[in-house]
Amino acid sequence: MSRARQFVVFITLQCTAAFGLLWVSGQVWESTLAEVIADNIGTELQRTGGELNPYLSACALISLAVVVGVVATGKWARRLVAGIGVIASVVAAWSLASMPEGTILNWQIASGFLILVLLLTNGAALLISPAWPSMGARYQRTEFKEPAVDVWGSLDRGVDPTIDGQGFKSGD
């Protein structure tokens, strides 16, 4: 698989798993019936996965930030950013494993799978991201030493290259 294709697969998997984890952590994981003694009325208390385990949404947001960081940075900074993503994934997996009983098991399984995907993609970014394509110097502005040397450079400076220095269109 080419380096550019690896990069696209990383971005796709990382974003999909992170948004999926955000969605799963927003679902109701626990419902309990609470009784209000004064009115003798029962009410249902619902708690989402993010309320029960805030590390899930934190891991998802950090993983989205890793995508931006890998796109925007260079070799050693990519490894640093991906390493932070690996740490966030490990912490989220540990916190998911140590959750108390009583929550809906299906949401825990879905979260575990998404965290595993994030751990693998962050780990892959940690190991092979320096070889991925990066934004090079061609995206940075350069100073022009000779005025109106090339058409695109003069357009970049705001000069119309079709008008010569005396105000006449070239070709008139």
- The encoded tokens of residue 60 equal 């998802």
- Higher-pLDDT residue of 111 and 47 is 111
pLDDT tens-digit profile of 111-128?
999 999 999 999 998 998
Determine the pLDDT at residue 148: 43
Model's pTM, two decimal places? Answer: 0.70
- Model confidence at 167: pLDDT above 60: no
User: Mean pLDDT across the stretch 128-146?
Assistant: 64
Determine the pLDDT at residue 17: 95
Q: How many whole angstroms separate alpha carbon 125 and alpha carbon 82?
A: 6
Q: Which residue is it, tokens 């005025």? A: 147
Banded pLDDT at 96 (limits 50, 70, 90): confident
User: Mean pLDDT across the stretch 142-149?
Assistant: 52
Least confident of 30-39, 69-78, 93-102, 107-116: 30-39
Determine the pLDDT at residue 169: 56
Which residues contact residue 13 at a Cβ distance below 8 angstroms, ignoring those fewer than 6 apart?
117, 121
Q: What is the largest CA-CA distance in the chain?
A: 93
